[in-house]
Structure 1
Amino acid sequence: MCINITNDGIEKLCKSNFYVGGKDWLKDFCKSIGKEECVECIKTKGYEDKQEEFKKITDKIRLYLKNYLQLDNVSFLFGAGSSIHLGSISIRQIPKQIEDKINEDTNIKKLFNNLIKQFSAVDIVSRTKDEEINIPLEQFLNYLLGLKFVLEKSKKVHICDELKEKEDIEKLDMLIKIIKQELFKLCDLDSISLEENRFAKSNPNIKQIMQDNGKYYYHKKLIKALLQRPLNLKRVNIFTTNYDLAFENSFDELGVQYIDGFTGFHKRTFKPESYDYDIYYPGTTTEGKVRRVERVIRYFKLHGSISWLQDKLDTFNQYGLVEKPIDLIRNNLELAGNLIIYPTSCKKEYTLDFPYSELFRQFAATITQSQSVLFCIGYSFCDEHINDIIYQALSIPSFTLVVIDYLGTKNPEIDRLKDLKDPRIIILQGEYLGDFKSFATDIMPNFHEIEMREKVTSTLRKLYESGIGEEDVSCSKGA
């Protein structure tokens, strides 16, 4: 791997941290390559020296992480931070695009404003610097679904004095549908061009890389590195809380098979037993052996997806869930009103509903196996149910948690993990070590390259230790 690091990259590395058991090992790595000063010393060097010393430090980190990627049970959990560079936006607030669409209908706007005040229990709702309503979208959507349930079960409950009972449900249904339709547009990253991508506009270098190598360049780099793990190990598990199709598109572009819990071709329905399936080449009759297909990943969308739609329950579809081609939903946005997304990130009691109960069960069963490691990338630790499962896994001595955290000390939950000073908790923080893009391209171990580099290093060490170089010199003199 050729890492062409810029001065800006050096600055970001110097501000990063590599915590193991609460101790920052980045300084120790710097000393191990012959530098008694801290990593800041790199900044004072010439360009070539910077490149060399930067490479030595990142190699140290990659070799350290490689040990965990060689465990039998390797899982990754991706949050919103892994899709920001693709044009994704945060839904910790109510995005302005959704509010603008709601405001196009006077009655829906009036209902929306009343419900926002009821939800926040204030007359004046606070807004962010970007003029977004400072209320988590998932929590508000959960509130709306709860109101809808109450209205459907009771004939004497009103959510807005100006509306009649029947209008209540109709307007509330329309409000929920608008939110889901606009959320679909915001999460349909494949439809967001680089010119429309706010992140790309403010990061021209990243924009150029994606123009030259494809929008999903960083996702594909990480996936390709994962697929280089030894074939005798179990399949890698990728979990994500994102609704978008970044990984699905990356899998398709790479020709990677992925097991996502759905079966069928024309009608894809959710059947969780398919997670126990695997893909093998046909065995030969003489040997009676079968060989596993190499490029396969187990894939779980814990919060649902923009391609999942609600369907009627029957004997063939026991979860009432189907997966539709994304183009079909794009061309008929009415379908987006039936999106299966998870609006209850802070309401653990609701996660007993299908299909989420099954997805969380799969997550718990996977990471609580012996000799397991979980890499959390771009995940903010805001989902209480997921956090509980991770903390339960920490009760197993052989479990390791690796957190890739861009924000650094700004996340109190990750700080709490660091303060535990548990050597099984590894945290990479900062704009370089904690960034999804640099992790995918520079930090993620490349097994073939690392193994070759280790062989070269070992060969050179043996040559010098045996004194072959000196013998060659003396022989040349004798000649």
Structure 2
Amino acid sequence: MNEQESVQGLFIVGGRIKSKVTLADRHILQDHLSNLLQVHNLVVLLGSGASFHLGSPQTRNLNNEKVVELIGNAGGSVNDADRALLKLVNPGDNGDLERLLNALQLASALTIHTQGGTVTLGEGAAAKTFNVDALEALRHKIGSALVEACKLPGKADDVDEDYRTDPLRAHRTFISRMVRSRRSNLPRPRIFTTNYDLVIERALDELGYPYVDGFSGTVERRLNLSFYGLDFHRIDTSTQKVIARADGALYVHKIHGSLNWRARTERDRITGVESLEVHQVADGTPSGDDRVLIYPTTAKEGDTLAFPYSDLMRQLGDSVQQDDTAILAVGYGFADPHINRILLRSLAVNPALNVLVVDPFAVLEPSVMAEILESDDVVGKRLDADDRKTKGTAVSALAQAADARIAVLTGDAGKFTVFADLMPDPSLGDAVASPRTVSELIESLELIGRKTTAKTLAEDGFSA
């Protein structure tokens, strides 16, 4: 493989191209990452782009037929009334699921507000009247289909071929290298994610890493945000004295909810006062209004003002305002104004904040990217030099910002699966075995020892 074939993307710092990401120059990116991973407070923000290789659903580039297909894949059915309603609320067939759900929500709210029970959509001969039940039925079908599609990994055909036998490999690599790259005396990394799926939790379970997700209890797990103030330590079992902090621990914050969260109003046994509680469900996904999820609609910013999202968002705000902090945003497209506001305000008031955004496609069109990668004299120049056309996205705007605290990685290197392998690996050879792997090794050795002892006893005429 020659160097040109190994080009994986562009690393941009302060609006200038710092380097191409090649086999020869990847150390420039890795040096930057190594410094970020050693900051006092590390905040990781994972969006849906971190799960695309596992079949994570797209909320854009979905025309009406794709929406129908999404519902069908979830076991739902679409009738003629649903198709007519889709055509009227999405006449441009523009494929933006957020706008579609918002239109249905607004139409439903209008029928309730006017107390007429129906709403007429369209003009002239194409106009049709729908009742609130039809509007709500389609909205719930789409919501349920989206939830079903977020149960990852998806169907085999939807998962990248390299991850069908070991779907969580990239997440394990990313998390383990991040954790092992940090000095043991630094605060735990905090992962904030907008994703509903359980991929992060399952990857942590496979690694054997302990983590705090804000829930207390074992059989009955209930959201208790004070648990984010706890940590893990190893102790001497005989004296109960603390030996050291446990390795590999971190915090997980699911700021838009989770597939296995359920809301329930409960009455306190002592005071009799009712309150809203959030539980983790171990035996399936909650349905309907019991789900604790922020759906992709324009109303999601208002939804974040309610419990538990407001508390989780406050924790994000507190985390990024600390001294010596780095934000590593991977697969997050900056499509959520309520999150963007927190990040941008923190950049404005916190001079000790550094940001690295990792996104493969949001900065340049493929033809422009190819042109830059083929050029020999782009390193050190501004991204928008020579009237170079960039995309009109938030990530592209960040890539062009003349602020040395902001870095962007784009191109194939910005794909989560590639980026995970680009993370600096602190081990000398292959990946260091996880605690789970070590415990399995110990169990195997103990089993061998028991078998050897039994064999020796048998040879000596004793029964084990």
TM-score range, shorter chain: 0.7 to 0.9
Establish whether residue 99 from structure 1 lines up as the match of residue 56 from structure 2: no
Contact kept in structure 2, 1:98 and 1:183, CA below 8 Å: no
Cα distance in structure 1, aligned partners of 2:281 and 2:107: 28
Cα distance in structure 1, aligned partners of 2:132 and 2:219: 34
Partner residue of 1:18 out of 11, 21, 24? 11
1:281 Cα offset (Å): 2.7
Establish whether residue 322 from structure 1 lines up as the match of residue 279 from structure 2: yes
Contact kept in structure 2, 1:346 and 1:382, CA below 8 Å: no
Cα distance in structure 2, aligned partners of 1:340 and 1:210: 29
1:69 Cα offset (Å): 0.5
Aligned letter for 2:217?
Answer: G
Which sections of structure 2, spanning at least 5 residues, go unmatched? 122-127, 365-390, 430-464
Equivalent residue, structure 2, for 1:335: 287
Equivalent residue, structure 2, for 1:425: 406
Equivalent residue, structure 1, for 2:174: 222
- Deviation string for 1:55-90 (max 9, x for gaps)? 441123212210111011001111121111111121
Cα distance in structure 2, aligned partners of 1:17 and 1:447: 23
Establish whether residue 434 from structure 1 lines up as the match of residue 414 from structure 2: yes
Closer, same or farther in 2 for the Cα pair 1:26/1:99, shift >3 Å?
Answer: same
Contact kept in structure 2, 1:177 and 1:337, CA below 8 Å: no
Aligned letter for 2:280?
Answer: E
Within a 5 Å distance, the mapping from 1:72-471 to structure 2 comes to 72-94=40-62, 96=65, 98-100=67-69, 101=71, 104-106=77-79, 109-110=80-81, 113-114=84-85, 117-118=88-89, 120=90, 125-127=91-93, 134-145=94-105, 148=108, 155-159=115-119, 168-190=131-153, 192-194=154-156, 196-197=157-158, 200=160, 207=161, 209-211=162-164, 214-228=166-180, 229-282=182-235, 289=242, 291-315=244-268, 318-325=275-282, 327-329=283-285, 335=287, 338-344=290-296, 346-347=298-299, 348-395=301-348, 396-407=350-361, 408-409=363-364, 410=391, 412-431=393-412, 433-441=413-421, 443-449=422-428
Contact kept in structure 2, 1:319 and 1:355, CA below 8 Å: no
TM-score (norm 1): 0.72
What count of residue pairs does the alignment treat as equivalent? 384
Question: Which has a greater percent of helix?
Answer: 1
Closer, same or farther in 2 for the Cα pair 1:415/1:93, shift >3 Å?
Answer: closer
Contact kept in structure 2, 1:346 and 1:384, CA below 8 Å: no
1:394 Cα offset (Å): 0.5
Cα distance in structure 1, aligned partners of 2:204 and 2:276: 25
Establish whether residue 68 from structure 1 lines up as the match of residue 36 from structure 2: yes
Equivalent residue, structure 2, for 1:51: none
Cα distance in structure 1, aligned partners of 2:281 and 2:242: 37
Contact kept in structure 2, 1:12 and 1:430, CA below 8 Å: no
Equivalent residue, structure 2, for 1:454: none
Which sections of structure 1, spanning at least 5 residues, go unmatched? 1-5, 28-38, 40-53, 128-133, 201-206, 451-479
TM-score (norm 2): 0.74
Equivalent residue, structure 1, for 2:368: none
Aligned letter for 2:293?
Answer: I
Closer, same or farther in 2 for the Cα pair 1:60/1:288, shift >3 Å?
Answer: same
- Deviation string for 1:152-203 (max 9, x for gaps)? 6663352359879xxx44434433332222112211113x243x22x52xxx
Q: Secondary structure at the match of 1:18?
A: strand
Question: Which has a greater percent of strand?
Answer: 2
Q: Secondary structure at the match of 2:29?
A: helix
- Deviation string for 1:425-471 (max 9, x for gaps)? 0111111x212111101x21123449xxxxxxxxxxxxxxxxxxxxx
Q: Secondary structure at the match of 1:26?
A: strand
Closer, same or farther in 2 for the Cα pair 1:98/1:270, shift >3 Å?
Answer: farther
Closer, same or farther in 2 for the Cα pair 1:360/1:428, shift >3 Å?
Answer: same
Cα distance in structure 2, aligned partners of 1:186 and 1:360: 25
Cα distance in structure 2, aligned partners of 1:159 and 1:12: 57
Cα distance in structure 2, aligned partners of 1:362 and 1:266: 26
Partner residue of 2:25 out of 34, 40, 57? 57
Closer, same or farther in 2 for the Cα pair 1:427/1:301, shift >3 Å?
Answer: same
